[in-house]
Amino acid sequence: MKKMTYAEGIREAMRTKMKEDPNVILFGEDVGKFGGCFGVSGDLWEQFCDDRVRDTPISEGAIVGAAVGSAACGIKPIAELMFIDFLTVGMDQLVNQAAKMKYMFGGEISIPMVLRVPAGGGIGGAAQHSQSLEAWATHVPGLKVVYPSNAQDAYGLLLTSIDDPDPVVFIENKVLYAMQNDVDENEMKAIPLGKARVVKEGSDVTIITYGRQVYDSLQAAEIVAKDGINVEVIDLRSLFPLDKETIVKSIEKTHKAVLVSEECKRGAYTGDIAAMIAEELFYELDGPLMRVGALNTPIPFSTELENYVMPNVRDIELAVRSLF
């Protein structure tokens, strides 16, 4: 075992693939000499130079469009946006081009692009730099959506995403970038999309989550364990394709579920998962499906107000307790 940060896991996956395949390139705002807005690309520019690691203007529409066009021509672009908030500027290119070209051309072309987007609050980024918009991406047929919670998963899932023939929106939680995790050097390999991970086994209630909320969910599980509530925690890792099998197996065991994400609760991806559970597992449930998310308001700049708006350990704990 060794220690690796979440950011390092992402960087080393890009380095691995860029060494293996000269068609893998990286571009985005400040990803070159500066090493990325959050330092994720680090020294990749020094190793691969301008031919493979290139800074772009502050034009998210152009960045996503360049990724789509180069992918259609056989390149494997990794495009980075500074914040998922500004995915809004590139939505036409992503939704109407990247996601649909394979279908519009009868499967004759592939769009093997990865769009890396930092997401979430917790850094005082305020209303325009703190959003969690994964549900926008999961709604679009033709896109795959990945959201790792730790360094090893970030490495393995990004390896797979880069080699995937379809466009992948690879969401990275900003708070996790500096977090160190233990990684097994013998297991630093590709992880299939659509395979969730049971982080903690339990028998009384299932928490389904991903990203930063995995850690809050584990803390909540520790708290309620003192009162004899045994929580199972599932880290989805891949939002689409979704690992329904792991969810079904867990709920057939626990018969209760709490769905947790950092998104505003209204319109959150957890609502889709809740609908799937209600449709397919209704008679397995011993209580209502509970959801935890941010309040339906823009994320404030003030630390105190941001903490109030964002979901937290106490929110998850109370949702779990409400089922008993």
Dihedral pair phi/psi, residue 259, rounded to 5°: -110, 125
Question: Has 139 been annotated as catalytic?
Answer: no
**CB–CB of 181/151 below 8 Å?**
yes
Q: Where does residue 110 rank: exposed (0-12), middle (13-18), buried (19+ CB within 10 A)?
A: middle
Which structure tokens are listed for 72?
């259609």
Residue in the structure block whose two tokens are 């679009």 = 140
Element (H, E) at 305: helix 303-309
What's the token pair of residue 97?
Answer: 């081009």
Distance of CA 212 to the CA centre of its chain: 9
What's the CA gap between 229 and 147, in Å, rounded? 28
For residues 307 and 118, what is the distance between their CA atoms, to the nearest angstrom? 19
DSSP secondary structure of 37-68: TTSSSTTHHHHHHHHHEEE--S-HHHHHHHHH
Please state, in angstroms and rounded to a whole number, the distance separating the CA atoms of residues 76 and 91. Answer: 20
E strands along 72-167, which residues?
76-80, 114-119, 144-146
Among candidates 105, 120, 171, 121, which has minimal Cα distance to 143?
A: 171
Q: Residue 96 carries which DSSP code?
A: I
Q: Which of 11, 129, 197, 256 is flagged as catalytic?
A: 129
Q: Which tokens hold the place of 223?
A: 């708290």
The partner residues of 77 in beta bridges, in order of sequence, read 25
Give the residue numbers annotated as catalytic, written as ranges: 129
